[in-house]
Structure 1
Amino acid sequence: MTLFRAFITGRPAFAGSLLLLICSFAQAAELVRHQRLDNGVVLHRDDGVTVTVSALTTGSVEVLYRPADEQPLPSLAVPDKNRPEHAKIEISQAADGLNILLPGISVEVQAQPFKLTFAQDGRALIEEAAGGFFYQTVRGVQFALTADEKLYGGGQRVLGMDRRGSRMPLYNRASYGYSEGPVDQMYFGLPAVMSSRNYAILFDNAASGHLDMGHTSPNRLQFDAVGGRLSYIVVAAPALPQLVQQVVSLTGRQPLPPRWALGNFASRFGYRTEQETRDVVAMFNKQGIPLDAVVLDLYWFGPDIQGHMGNLDWDKNAFPTPQAMIRDFAEQDIHTVVITEPFVLTSSSQYQSAKTNQALAKGLDGNPHTFDFYFGNTGLVDVFNDKGRDWFWHYYRRLLDQGIAGWWGDLGEPEVHPYDALHSWDGTTVTADEIHNGFGHQWAKMVYERTLHAQPEQRPFVLMRSGFLGSQRYGMMPWTGDVSRTWGGFKAQVELALQMSVFGLAYTHSDLGGFAGGDTFNAQLYTRWLQAGTFFPVYRPHAHEGIPPEPVFHDDPTKQIVSRFIQLRYDMLPYNYSLSYTNSLTGMPLMRPMSFANSARFFEEGDQFLWGDAFLVKPITAPDLKHTTVALPAGTWFDFFSGKKYHSKSGSNVEHALTLETMPVYVKAGSFVPMQPGLMRTADYSAEHLAVHYWADASVSQAAYRMYEDQGQSPQSLAEKAYLTLDFSATHNPDKLRLNVSPKGSYAGLPDQRKLTWKIHGLTEKPTQIRQLADKKWHWEAKTGVLTVTQLISHATDSSLHIEL
């Protein structure tokens, strides 16, 4: 009894193991009756708890537990449009309960003791170990795991790709200067798991809690929280890529980012003056290094780190003509992004306004809750209610009118969030701990939706470091926080990005080069990190003061190598932009785990990844290596830089010799990669010419690829189908190679024709003939084995290329 009372009163000692013990014998509720709905079933238990089982998308089902007389908080994970009003539901009686058949998934209801079991097409997925439980200070649900399954989940943690055996706090929290790990609590947790058995469970609860993946009890998965909505969603699919697409179609696909978001950013903590900012941009221009955006940290609103947060206006001493600066950059196709935070210091110029307008979270006395943290004594904007959002947006709108092109939301966990702070969410007063993990999500929603409404012709850019399941539907581009400038910090980044990407946060990226610490410049670490960043969703070197993150400040060979990789990223813009399109249309991430190629072999692989369908990338995350091992999936692969070909029948390891000038990047045979060499800005992209690389091998007899293209900034491109697709295909026989391009669609400004330059890799001999082309229109490079063919194509008709080998 003493242990039980200690547990339910919130004492931390033994809480994890005790909770599992309690659930094993104390949960004995029974099903007493059921009630059919248009899109599901309401199950009534004898303890007064109702359990609503609802169809969502095909292959996904929601379970909502609701105690008597409790109104659940709104859902954050699933938008209303993904909740059908009607669905085809079949209910049948069973000897020990009910069977419920929903679109693409079935639920077996055990009446005594109450328990739910899920299956798809006769394939068992997961079953509750005990139905949802409610105690005074904790609520949750527990599932039975099979002995051999492995699990992704939890979002940003440095624990290895297979998270099974871990217990993680569900409380978004800053982790300054983290490195290789283990790190079980960071900026952006996700209350979700994805199994090697091809199902996912999403817990739609933003409260402080825990996710236990078989740590306390080896074959138990448990979610628990201090309060909030007790809801979970089961999603199933035949394989991991389809499962990811199902999850993202449910929680919301990422809107198309502006094309410039795929370019290079100049960013640091921080540019202290307007002149310094102008000088840095001028250095990029002078040195011929591509650049698309400049990011201003907190010095834009104050001369010091402390005391000014919440001013939300320019420090005119340091930035005397900000609008002229923004305009001058825009004329160079460089976009200005500014940092904002949800904290309004009592010493700031806007605190009284925030207080008067009731924009801040309240204390128990009904007044603004103020507290001390690193930057000063502060209040916190209440982004859950209209008064807070309206007040906050007023300042964003003013900056938008001044020409600001994108938002950087920092400290949005929020970094300090007193447990007794009160928020008003849709008229309901809730404590900080009940909704803590949803703060960044609501902030991003406000910024994205209101920016889009104010500028309907522009795609919003929203960079933030914290949120919730589904935050991607508000355009959020998360970064992984204040990582240390160490090899360990660098090594953690692939795992962090992949664990986020499979749940929809496909633009997760790092401060390239590392942010925190480091007394001296480590040229090798910097070079390796920025090389890898070429294949990360966002390319943004960023660091604390002392060691410049921008390549323009470094000497050769560092600057030479890094600038060459930045140029490669710009050259790959057509391919990368098509990855963005694919993500927005299907939910497939840009950066993909190796398990997409072979789940059984690569589920735990966290040192290399796939960049779209074509590339395999292995960052070099240790110093002074002369060789590394690259694991290749089955098939034929080419070293992207040397052209050397490798055959992997059932998946094999390749020894890769290393130099600092390149890194391991492999291209799958049968891959098309469109490029446009020499871009200095993403705005320089032209639909009048295109280079398309194809890696040919006789082992690939058929290949296909779709490229997407539009004008790069309209939020309506997808909805209005204002884009062009170029469908490339290849047919390879022993003595013939036929390449075809089929255009479809259009957009404003698309020319009638374009010059298409084919770059065909992998041929061992000079072709004997290319039909209908004079010799002067094609060139064979015997040393590299690359055939170059130039062709003028129409955007109205298909075009083919017939090569005799």
Structure 2
Amino acid sequence: MRLLGIVFSFLCSGAVFAAQYQAHQLDGNTLHIQSDKGKLSLQFYQPEVVEAFYQNNGVKQLPSFSISQQPAALALSVAEAADSLTLSSAALTVKINKAPLRLSYYRGDQLLLAEEQGYFAAENQHGFRFALSKDEKLLGGGQRVLGMDRRGQTFPLYNKAHYGYSTESSQMYFSLPAVMSSNKYLLLFDNSAKGEADLGASNADIMQFSAEGGRSSYVVVAGDTYPALINNYTALTGRQPLPARWTLGNYASRFGYRNEAEARAVVQKFRQLKLPLDALVLDLYWFGPDIKGHMGNLAWDPNAFPQPEKMLADLSADGVNTILVTEPFVLTTSKRWQEAVDAGAIALGPDGKAKTFDFYFGNTGLIDVFNPAAQQWFWQIYQGLAEQGVAGVWGDLGEPEVHPDDTVHAIGMANEVHNAFGHQWADMVYNGMRRNFPKQRPFIMMRAGAPGSQRFGMVPWTGDVERSWGGLKPQVELALSMGLFGFGYIHSDLGGFAGGEQFDKELYIRWLQYGVFQPVYRPHAQEHIAPEMVFHDSHTIETLRPWLNLRYQLLPYNYTLAYQNSLTGMPLMRPLFFYKDSFADAANTTLMDEKNSYFWGDAFLVAPVTEPGVTSWPVQLPGGVWFDYFNGQRYAGNGKVEVPVTLDTIPVLVKAGSFVPMAELVQSTQHYSSRKLTLHYYADSSVDCAKGEMYEDDGKTPDAIVNGQFERLNFYYLKQDSEQKFELRRSGEYAGKPESRELTLVLHNQSATPSHISVDGRYVQLVPQQARFNRMQNVAWYDKASRQLKVKLDWQADKQQILIR
């Protein structure tokens, strides 16, 4: 019988009795309640964030892996009536029914969420039941292919590989015991154990989370808007540190490069074809010649990679950062098995000895990342690799892929800590890197984690997706669902990973076109079909070249998205219901179901083409005015439109009133410079004023934001009668900051040649030919065919104004 079937049967049998209130005490941010079953603490972390932690007598409690915020000092009040208590912050009210003990959460007069059964315990399960309101939508649950609204679904809370998935999956690599509601609350079940979520499947009006042990706690997050929910939630669980700029570049990656010659050759191929490249990912073969038998060596195979330090140094000098795969399994046949056992690094079995078991790669043990001794042993290996010049860590199979129930970890059994394994692993690597390599921004790509793993710089991906159109279809849904909970760098293996009997050129092109507007640009696949574009025919290369070039030209825009994410948790890929227009909430609720069209930052609306042979593609508009990036076609409203496409294009629209900063093309971010900028502005009669920003630093210094080692460039637009005014501002300092910038302002959708242009009151000449414009400084040129006005200026002052009539 399924877990929930057991729990519901147990509840209906009357064997679980609700707790009864006995006493309470307010202590700072926490209301302590004593009941006949144990303790309940209600702790406010922010005015709109409160944790309910039930500690029934005799129930083991594990620590929270998700919560990282220290509570701020808040003014709370408690009012008592005969049958209830009311706990209030400045923004949120918790009403506590005394008999039975039951909680309800209000924002002002609005009921956000109410316990139905509240906390329950049945056999070895415990969890919570909540009442759902009519028409309430629920997003979240982590990686699932179930549609954006997960209400009516039940699914396991257990990180598990789903090899070769496509258009449907209820259980995948990275589960999250959390939902975001259309009623503008976010609910986190703060539990690391194996469990299940029932979001109105067994009972349409009930949402239930349950688990085999762990922690009997949940957190309610409120907010005025959906972005505010993310902001408050990531303040609680931690925000993604700003990654190195190279993270946003192009990766060469496959399963896998078998030796140093292959690794060097693929980099050389990119350089010869003048296709930008910033990273090289080495899979299993860096530590062994075969797929099986070598996992856990965690050292270079000297036959395949005889001079790793020289290779790493050469690649680094060429602007290529090397990332190595590692796994938490140490095979008994590996060179380090006995060393790991002697160090106490291997998780134990019930007999107190290092536990071994069989899985695909061989007979193995599992590193106990919850054990300080194991962490010390594991970290010293990472430290040695980083000292050699390895730039990034790839943690694979970290669900863990195989995790026997009777595995004994330092803090609990396998099922109690399973979903926190990848999280704890990332914690170890991140803090080790910050401690031992304080001048380096860590890069940590991992397949599994838990709520809060984003604070360790985790870069997750969507696992071993099938190399098919069906595999491409759910990638936006997966990314949006994860991005709502802090994981701004979720991405897919571009081109698809698993299977595929022969190369599907159109599928490959469509997937890599989409990749330009996903957080990490990493084609990756099984090697029988090359994932790197350099190994395909010239037509494929030349079709994709402008797309890869666009990815690099957009570095100023994309890096600014990374900056915004690090401050507020706002994902780089954003759902359409985040649109800041004035239409009713009902429209927003409808947009919650949209799983193909999405925002890339605030400026772009993207709809990947996920079917072959089409000449147009449907795009859901959220409202407002949008322009086709390729041909300037204007669209407006909040319906669906058919956008014409060729093999060279997918629907990419730009919002009216958007500023899009772009840089010159480079072959590696090592050579990136914002000395020359092109600033695009998309004008429209519907927009009277607009603003934008650009963030700049040296691309590598940790804590640049905290330490003020950055520059902000702000852009403003104001339309008054027949005049268009632009104001450019810049502030801040960092090493390598350009003293001045050659800026080309490109105004789109300009219907006529201007009669007057000036910069800070100085007249700017309007030249008749583009060739003259390209050669000269402080000039302008109007292109009637494209309806674009270009103004070139030398931006030196902290503030400059441009006037156009």
- For the aligned pair, the TM-score class normalised by the smaller chain equals over 0.9
C-alpha deviation, 1:102, in angstroms: 2.3
Corresponding residue number in structure 1 for 2:21: 31
1:310 and 1:343 in contact (8 A); partners too: yes
C-alpha deviation, 1:590, in angstroms: 0.4
Normalization by structure 1: what TM-score? 0.96
Corresponding residue number in structure 2 for 1:4: none
C-alpha deviation, 1:114, in angstroms: 1.4
Change in Cα spacing, 1:69 to 1:137, as seen in structure 2 (3 Å) is closer
The one of 175, 189, 199 equivalent to 2:185 is: 199
Corresponding residue number in structure 2 for 1:774: 765
- Give the letter aligned to residue 150 of structure 1: K
Corresponding residue number in structure 1 for 2:771: none
1:145 and 1:220 in contact (8 A); partners too: yes
For 1:777-792, list aligned pairs within 5 A. Answer: 777-792=779-794
2:192 and 2:417 in contact (8 A); partners too: yes
The one of 580, 595, 614 equivalent to 2:603 is: 614
C-alpha deviation, 1:324, in angstroms: 1.0
Q: Deviations over 1:425-458 (max 9, x none)?
A: 3xxxx10000100000000000011012111111
- Give the letter aligned to residue 574 of structure 1: P
- Give the letter aligned to residue 447 of structure 2: R
Query: Counterparts of 2:507 and 2:433 in 1: how far apart (Å)?
Result: 38
1:258 and 1:713 in contact (8 A); partners too: yes
Query: Counterparts of 1:699 and 1:502 in 2: how far apart (Å)?
Result: 30
Query: Counterparts of 1:563 and 1:734 in 2: how far apart (Å)?
Result: 42
Q: Deviations over 1:238-269 (max 9, x none)?
A: 12121121111211110000100000000000
Query: Counterparts of 2:484 and 2:572 in 1: how far apart (Å)?
Result: 10
Please say if 1:250 is aligned against 2:236. yes
Corresponding residue number in structure 1 for 2:80: 93
- Give the letter aligned to residue 9 of structure 2: L
2:577 and 2:622 in contact (8 A); partners too: no
C-alpha deviation, 1:201, in angstroms: 0.4
C-alpha deviation, 1:349, in angstroms: 0.2
Which stretch of structure 1 is more off in the superposition, 98-107 or 197-206? 98-107
Query: Counterparts of 1:297 and 1:59 in 2: how far apart (Å)?
Result: 44
The one of 736, 741, 749 equivalent to 1:754 is: 741
Please say if 1:799 is aligned against 2:800. yes
Corresponding residue number in structure 1 for 2:770: none
Query: Counterparts of 1:251 and 1:50 in 2: how far apart (Å)?
Result: 24
For 1:534-545, list aligned pairs within 5 A. Answer: 534-545=516-527
Please say if 1:83 is aligned against 2:71. yes
Corresponding residue number in structure 1 for 2:422: 440
Residue segments in structure 1 that go unaligned for 5+ positions in a row:
1-6
Which stretch of structure 1 is more off in the superposition, 133-142 or 69-78? 69-78
2:573 and 2:598 in contact (8 A); partners too: yes
CA RMSD of aligned residues (A): 1.3
For 1:408-557, list aligned pairs within 5 A. Answer: 408-425=394-411, 430-557=412-539
Query: Counterparts of 1:82 and 1:507 in 2: how far apart (Å)?
Result: 25
- Give the letter aligned to residue 288 of structure 1: K
Query: Counterparts of 1:31 and 1:442 in 2: how far apart (Å)?
Result: 36
Corresponding residue number in structure 2 for 1:647: 636
2:3 and 2:196 in contact (8 A); partners too: no
2:159 and 2:171 in contact (8 A); partners too: yes
Identity of aligned residues (%): 48
Corresponding residue number in structure 1 for 2:319: 333
C-alpha deviation, 1:95, in angstroms: 3.8
The one of 644, 648, 669 equivalent to 1:657 is: 644
For 1:145-156, list aligned pairs within 5 A. Answer: 145-156=132-143
For 1:657-736, list aligned pairs within 5 A. Answer: 657-736=644-723
Query: Counterparts of 1:405 and 1:325 in 2: how far apart (Å)?
Result: 13
Q: Deviations over 1:725-758 (max 9, x none)?
A: 0110100234111111111111112122111111
Query: Counterparts of 1:217 and 1:775 in 2: how far apart (Å)?
Result: 69
Please say if 1:171 is aligned against 2:158. yes
- Give the letter aligned to residue 703 of structure 1: A
Query: Counterparts of 1:769 and 1:556 in 2: how far apart (Å)?
Result: 46
- Give the letter aligned to residue 708 of structure 1: Y
C-alpha deviation, 1:366, in angstroms: 0.7
1:575 and 1:707 in contact (8 A); partners too: yes
1:640 and 1:667 in contact (8 A); partners too: yes
Q: Secondary structure at the match of 2:449?
A: coil
Query: Counterparts of 1:628 and 1:790 in 2: how far apart (Å)?
Result: 36
Q: Secondary structure at the match of 2:544?
A: helix
Q: Deviations over 1:675-718 (max 9, x none)?
A: 01322111222132111100011210010011100000011201
The one of 73, 88, 94 equivalent to 1:107 is: 94
C-alpha deviation, 1:58, in angstroms: 2.5
C-alpha deviation, 1:20, in angstroms: 5.7
- Give the letter aligned to residue 455 of structure 2: R
Corresponding residue number in structure 1 for 2:574: 592
C-alpha deviation, 1:70, in angstroms: 4.3
2:518 and 2:573 in contact (8 A); partners too: yes
Corresponding residue number in structure 2 for 1:3: none
Query: Counterparts of 1:292 and 1:20 in 2: how far apart (Å)?
Result: 56
Query: Counterparts of 1:746 and 1:136 in 2: how far apart (Å)?
Result: 60
Please say if 1:14 is aligned against 2:5. yes
Q: Deviations over 1:392-419 (max 9, x none)?
A: 0111111011100000000000000111
Q: Secondary structure at the match of 1:557?
A: helix
1:40 and 1:87 in contact (8 A); partners too: no
Query: Counterparts of 1:562 and 1:699 in 2: how far apart (Å)?
Result: 34
Query: Counterparts of 1:764 and 1:703 in 2: how far apart (Å)?
Result: 19
- Give the letter aligned to residue 27 of structure 1: F
Q: Secondary structure at the match of 2:473?
A: helix
Please say if 1:321 is aligned against 2:307. yes
Query: Counterparts of 2:721 and 2:457 in 1: how far apart (Å)?
Result: 47
Query: Counterparts of 1:789 and 1:299 in 2: how far apart (Å)?
Result: 52
C-alpha deviation, 1:140, in angstroms: 0.3
Q: Secondary structure at the match of 1:706?
A: strand
1:161 and 1:606 in contact (8 A); partners too: yes
Q: Deviations over 1:491-534 (max 9, x none)?
A: 11100010000000110000000000100000010000000000
Change in Cα spacing, 1:16 to 1:135, as seen in structure 2 (3 Å) is closer
Query: Counterparts of 2:70 and 2:576 in 1: how far apart (Å)?
Result: 29
Q: Deviations over 1:275-310 (max 9, x none)?
A: 011111000000010000000001000000000000
Corresponding residue number in structure 1 for 2:170: 184
C-alpha deviation, 1:149, in angstroms: 0.5
C-alpha deviation, 1:601, in angstroms: 2.8
1:60 and 1:104 in contact (8 A); partners too: no
C-alpha deviation, 1:767, in angstroms: 1.1
Query: Counterparts of 2:46 and 2:374 in 1: how far apart (Å)?
Result: 34
2:194 and 2:212 in contact (8 A); partners too: yes
Which stretch of structure 1 is more off in the superposition, 333-342 or 677-686? 677-686
Corresponding residue number in structure 2 for 1:139: 126
Which stretch of structure 1 is more off in the superposition, 64-73 or 293-302? 64-73
- Give the letter aligned to residue 778 of structure 1: A
Query: Counterparts of 1:628 and 1:752 in 2: how far apart (Å)?
Result: 45
Query: Counterparts of 2:727 and 2:309 in 1: how far apart (Å)?
Result: 49
Query: Counterparts of 1:157 and 1:257 in 2: how far apart (Å)?
Result: 26
C-alpha deviation, 1:612, in angstroms: 0.4
Which stretch of structure 1 is more off in the superposition, 110-119 or 773-782? 773-782
Query: Counterparts of 1:734 and 1:499 in 2: how far apart (Å)?
Result: 43
Q: Secondary structure at the match of 1:344?
A: strand
- Give the letter aligned to residue 25 of structure 2: Q
The one of 259, 262, 268 equivalent to 1:276 is: 262
C-alpha deviation, 1:14, in angstroms: 3.4
Change in Cα spacing, 1:733 to 1:45, as seen in structure 2 (3 Å) is same
Number of corresponding residues: 783
